Amino acid sequence: MIKIKICGLKSENDISYVNELNPDYIGFVFLKGRKRYVTPEWAAELRKLLKPSIQSVGVFVDEPIENVAALLDNGTIQTAQLHGHEDITYARKLKELCGKPIIKAFIIKEKADVEKALSYDCDYLLLDNGLGTGESFDWSLIQNIDRPFFLAGGLTPKNVQDAIIRTKPYAVDTSSGVETDGCKDFNKIKAFIDAVRYTDK
């Protein structure tokens, strides 16, 4: 079954939406300056409101490893998603410290980017057009990948079925694709999840 991640949650309303609609993962963005940024303290409060069955993922960019480890150890997040220049040594050290899953994000512009991603030692890859651009990339570049990956970048209720059919990801990841005026939209999240589940039948 294709997994679903709804990223960029920042309010109690967002949590209530996903608690009702049951994606597999949600994401908290810990990059200061981004419009979906949440503080570690607020994320911890939101995690308390989140269904235990839904996994929370922390999105980081070149964050000191001890900060990431602290959020994994205290249960605010169950998985770390790395979007910066974190090398394999960083990922391995984080894994040794916490033993929790690691997702490493790669921007895909050409075939060489795919090869670079495939060489990285982590639990899951995340293949994207960029950090929160809301645009998709050329999916033909990632067909027949034999590692589990999250597909991100420009996914919406309208195109996610085609994306799944063409790329066969482990999971699909959306944020702006289920928003209206910069806020999570219950009906769009529902439509996105319904589209994925229908494709998965």
Q: What does the pLDDT look like over 43-68, one tens digit per residue? A: 999 999 999 999 999 999 999 999 99
Let me know: does 130 contact 146? Beta carbons within 8 Å: no
Q: Would you tell me how many other CB atoms lie within 10 Å of the CB of residue 64?
A: 9
Q: Output the domain CATH number for residue 76.
A: 3.20.20.70
Residues of the chain with pLDDT > 70, as a percent, come to: 97
Q: What pLDDT score does 15 carry?
A: 98
Q: What pLDDT score does 131 carry?
A: 59
The arithmetic mean of pLDDT across residues 12-29, rounded, is 98
Let me know: does 188 contact 181? Beta carbons within 8 Å: no
Structural domain boundaries, residue 38: 3-199
Q: What pLDDT score does 200 carry?
A: 64
| Tally of domains within the chain | 1
Q: What pLDDT score does 133 carry?
A: 59
pTM equals 0.94
Backbone angles phi, psi at 17, to 5 degrees: -60, -50
Looking only at the bridges linking them, the beta strands covering 179-180 and 183-184 are: antiparallel
Tens of pLDDT, residues 143-161: 888 899 999 989 999 999 9
